[in-house]
Amino acid sequence: MNRFSARDPMRDHLLTPQNAALIVIDYQPTQVNSINSMPRASLVHNIVLVAKLAKNYGLPIILSTVNVKNGSNHDTIPVLKEALGNIPSYDRSTINAWEDEAFYQAVKATKRKKLLMAALWTEACLSFPALDAILEGYDVYPVVDAVGGTSPLAHETALRRMEQAGAQLTTIAQVACELQRDWARKETVPGFVEVMVEAGIFLQLK
């Protein structure tokens, strides 16, 4: 028996498939097209990989958009919506998703206290709910290579503010390894390898 098998996956201080949820906010055409902190194609590629990881490990996923129902904005970009599968989307008018009752109740309903967060922009729709969630006792993990801001400065400053408030910055590779943790969990290895290959971290030899 390894030490991991003796740890409670619900109470583990590290991320596990049993204690984490993924929050995805505002990956819509207008927001994607205003990102200037990283190449937009890379941003889209990376958030799709995060979605695939969440699906591979069975994490609850909360998806939110802004201003779709009132006709002033478009829905989640199709490539991400396809990767997320048939899940509800919580549309809202608030910049801060945490202030939307339906979204907030959906997060609470997951009964997960560790929230992987990805949103556009870093300086608004990510940082605001992250700061609120931290105040309510959640552990928040912004996935830094799958989020972006209107400028490198705006993005980095927002990450620093969240980190100072207690957010635990993470990356796609770290999330994948933290959720997998043990190669003996063979059922999730193929999905893990697929994401790592698509991310360019693993070299596909076959």
Q: Tell me whether residue 125 is one of the annotated catalytic residues.
A: yes
Cβ neighbours around 40 below 10 Å, total: 14
Amino acid at 45: H
pLDDT tens, position by position, 146-184: 999 999 999 999 999 999 999 999 999 999 999 999 999
Rounded distance between C-alpha atoms, residue 7 and residue 152, angstroms: 39
Within-domain flag for 38: yes
Q: Give the pLDDT confidence score for residue 203 in this predicted structure.
A: 82
Rounded distance between C-alpha atoms, residue 92 and residue 102, angstroms: 9
Within-domain flag for 6: no
| pLDDT of 204 over the 90 cut | no
Residue in the structure block whose two tokens are 């396809």: 82
Q: Which of 25, 48, 125, 133 is catalytic?
A: 125
Rounded distance between C-alpha atoms, residue 25 and residue 16, angstroms: 22
Q: Give the pLDDT confidence score for residue 47 in this predicted structure.
A: 98
Q: Give the pLDDT confidence score for residue 46 in this predicted structure.
A: 98
| pLDDT of 77 over the 90 cut | yes
66 burial type by CB count under 10 A (0-12 exposed, 13-18 middle, 19+ buried)? buried
**DSSP code for 53:** H
What sign results for the dihedral spanned by CA atoms 160, 123, 129, 143? negative
Which residues have C-beta within 8 Å of that of residue 12, sequence separation ≥ 6? 19
Within-domain flag for 102: yes
Within-domain flag for 97: yes
pLDDT tens, position by position, 28-61: 999 999 999 999 999 999 999 999 999 999 999 9
| pLDDT of 205 over the 60 cut | no
Kindly report the CATH number assigned to the domain that includes residue 121.
3.40.50.850
Rounded distance between C-alpha atoms, residue 26 and residue 28, angstroms: 5
Rounded to the nearest 5°, which phi and psi values hold at 96?
-90, 110
Q: Give the pLDDT confidence score for residue 75 in this predicted structure.
A: 97
pLDDT tens, position by position, 98-122: 999 999 999 999 999 999 999 999 9
Rounded distance between C-alpha atoms, residue 109 and residue 44, angstroms: 28
What's the chain's average pLDDT? 96
Query: What's the longest Cα–Cα distance across the chain?
Result: 56
Domain tally, the chain: 1
Within-domain flag for 168: yes
Q: Give the pLDDT confidence score for residue 191 in this predicted structure.
A: 97
What confidence category does residue 1 fall into, taking pLDDT thresholds of 50, 70 and 90? low
Q: Would the pTM of this model clear 0.85, i.e. be above it?
A: yes
User: What tokens does 49 get?
Assistant: 């990989």
Q: Which domain holds residue 32?
A: 15-198
Within-domain flag for 185: yes
Within-domain flag for 35: yes
Q: Give the pLDDT confidence score for residue 179 in this predicted structure.
A: 98
User: What tokens does 115 get?
Assistant: 């929230």
Cβ neighbours around 185 below 10 Å, total: 15
Within-domain flag for 81: yes
Amino acid at 69: K
Rounded distance between C-alpha atoms, residue 3 and residue 85, angstroms: 34
